[in-house]
Amino acid sequence: MRALASNTTNARFALLFDCDGVIVETEELHRLAYNGAFEHYDVRIDGVLVDWVVEYYDVLQNTVGGGKPKMKWHFTENKWPTSTLYPNGATTESEREALIDALQDQKTVFYKKIVEEVAEARPGILALMDEAIADPSIAVGICSAATKAGFEKVVNSVVGRERLSKMDVVMAGDDVTRKKPDPLIYNLAREKVGLPASKCVVVEDSLVGLRAAVGANMNCVITPTQSTASADFMGEGAKAVFADLSGVRLAALFPLGASEPNFKF
């Protein structure tokens, strides 16, 4: 899903958006979809159906990036489960990988259906995105840890194909070998826009995303969700924290003639 008609020329800065939690507040949608997949395959640990409650999913959201890594982390920390796929448990590495793949695929089926029914953009996000797209001196991109199928459903439904066609970078978790908090996706984005890290501003909503941006030596602003709001973002290197992006204007973030982004507004 690469940009086909970006209008960017001689970019001064780049503005890179995370997807889940930034464009759409999707944490609860993902949680429900994972639990749907666990129920679909009767995934149980010691006879108890795996169910990620809100409080626990908040921990996962701020600890592990990407869906498959979340499940691997959970099962490694607790116990590899039984399921209709592996009634006696997945005991080999290949079986465990196959189980995770099947769960992720089924989760995506549920997630896409939920997105169609309830997903909508967070306040201010599309207005800021449109301002950046309209400015030929600002490169614009989306860099998500989500798997491509779920990611495409969100961005196609909420961002829209016209905006996507004008972006300089659009990447999902499948496009990189290491997911956030690893900085790889942002390092690749920097290469694509042809700018130094100091000229890039990342918009994230979680510590996992913030650590990826900071690891790439990029400036990062945070627009937290309810599940991430208690984190110490400024203590971990965020440049600013905004309840939402409705009051953030492109001209304030990237002043005309400025050599670096501005975060004091």
Q: What is the 3-class SS of the chain, one letter each residue?
A: CCCCCCCCCCCCEEEEECCECCCECCHHHHHHHHHHHHHHCCCEECCEECCCCHHHHHHHHCCCCCHHHHHHHHHHHCCCCECCCCCCCCCCHHHHHHHHHHHHHHHHHHHHHHHHHHCCECCCHHHHHHHHHHCCCEEEEEECCCCHHHHHHHHHHHHCHHHHHCCCEEECHHHCCCCCCCCHHHHHHHHHHCCCHHHEEEEECCHHHHHHHHHCCCEEEECCCCCCCCCCCHHHCCCEECCCCCCCCHHHHCCCCCCCCCCCC
Per the DSSP assignment, residues forming a β-bridge with 170 are 142
Pull the structure tokens for residue 99: 């189980």
Active site residues: 18, 20
Distances (CA, A) of 151 to 40, 72, 117, 170: 22, 20, 15, 10
